Amino acid sequence: MAQGFYKWIMVYQDHLTKFCVLRPLSSKRAAEVAHHLTDIFLLIEAPYILQSDNGSEFTAEVISGLKIIWPKLVLVHGKPRHPQSQGSVERANGDIKDMLVAWISPYAALFGCEAKVGLTSSLLFDEVIQRMQCEDDLLAVLTTGQNREEPGPVPSAESA
């Protein structure tokens, strides 16, 4: 369920506490993941072992990216010590997906379409929207009903 240019969700989970941090990603590049991991490590604490289900090459690339951002960081990437660890991550991912669907879907279920956000999803013509500079311009268009395509200034609040 992509949102704008965000197409993926990074899930960081502490195996001991099961504490999760979610981050939206626009790509699966190691540099972007490393940036978000650094932010998470500054929020909580850097682990001694970093596990990833994306393979050892990707994990090594992420660790290399982290070392560029945080030169004194020492991490070892490793495999889960027992299969239950991976199962725990998969269950958490399923729970997270269910929660996101539950938060996003009520609007679509009620109205039969995706949520509309901003003026670009309104019935105003693009040309009218592009000429708007401030809230007063929007109010003037709404009160005068001048949703038109022909060029011309949007009436300002002072002239309306």
Same domain, 31 and 62: yes
Torsion, Cα of 118, 123, 128, 134 (10° steps): -40
Over the stretch 50-71, which tens digit does the pLDDT of each residue have? 777 777 777 788 888 888 888 8
Is the pLDDT assigned to residue 86 strictly greater than 70? Answer: no
Q: What pTM does this model have?
A: 0.57
Count of structural domains within the chain: 2
Do 123 and 102 belong to one domain? no
pLDDT at 155 over 60: no
Q: Which pair of tokens denotes residue 100?
A: 């996101």
**Does residue 94 sit in the same domain as residue 39?**
yes
Helix (H, G, I), strand (E, B), or coil: what is residue 108? Answer: helix
E strand intervals along the chain: 8-13, 20-25, 49-50, 76-77
Q: Is the pLDDT of residue 159 over 60?
A: no
Q: Are residues 136 and 76 in the same domain?
A: no
> How confident is the model at residue 36, as a pLDDT?
92
Position 1 in a domain: no
Mean pLDDT of 4-12: 88
pLDDT above 90 coverage of the chain, percent:
7
pLDDT of residue 151: 46
CA-CA distance, 58 to 30, in Å (whole number)? 7
Tokens of 88: 């725990």
Task: Name the residue range of residue 130's domain.
Answer: 118-160
- Rounded mean pLDDT of 82-100? 76
The CATH number of residue 47's host domain is 3.30.420.10
Please tell me whether residues 66 and 142 are part of one structural domain: no
Q: Is residue 46 part of a domain?
A: yes
